[in-house]
Amino acid sequence: MNEGEDHLHRVTGAMILLTVLGLPLWGFLRSWTAALAFGVGAVASLVFWTLHRVLTTRMLTPSVRRRWLYGFLSMGKLALIALVLRGMMGRYPAEALPLAMGVLLFVAGILLEAIRLAFQKPEATPPD
């Protein structure tokens, strides 16, 4: 596993940790319907992140046709979030905030990894 994959796994782990912490918090502090909406948003976020990882990895190919194909397929990531938001907002319009927080977990995971990297000590470069 190279360093880039290590970062992707850390972001995924942060997302899962935030999901596990967020479900009971929304349930106890607001309602269990809010926890359900947060959970649906979190699952959509994890699926979005997994699709992002797979499509980005496959896009790194010398074939221009394949890059365009995976570029267009990556638009499906946005469609996934739009479908989840539309369906959940029709069913539970009062739970917009927990749903949005669940969907934005991938952003929080990336932010946590960036903060971790900011405080990481740089490796010493070997002398020439």
Q: Which two tokens stand for residue 124?
A: 């010493």
Share of the chain above pLDDT 90, in %: 14
Residue 61 lies in a domain: yes
Residue 10 lies in a domain: yes
Non-local (6+) Cβ contacts of 11 within 8 A are 49, 106, 109, 110, 112, 113
pLDDT, position 58: 75
Residue 70 lies in a domain: yes
| Cα 18 versus chain centre, distance | 11
Give residue 24's pLDDT band: very low, low, confident or very high (50, 70, 90): very high
Report how far residue 61's alpha carbon sits from residue 64's, in angstroms, rounded to the nearest whole number. 8
Closest Cα partner for 30 from 92, 107, 81, 88?
A: 92
User: Which residue range(s) make up the domain with 33?
Assistant: 3-114
Non-local (6+) Cβ contacts of 120 within 8 A are none
Residue 120 lies in a domain: no
Residue 43 lies in a domain: yes
Kindly state the average pLDDT of the residues 84-94: 81
Residue 42 lies in a domain: yes
Residue 84, φ and ψ in degrees, nearest 5: -65, -45
Count: domains in the chain = 1
Give residue 16's pLDDT band: very low, low, confident or very high (50, 70, 90): very high
Report the chain's mean pLDDT, rounded to a whole number. Answer: 82
Predicted structure pTM score: 0.76
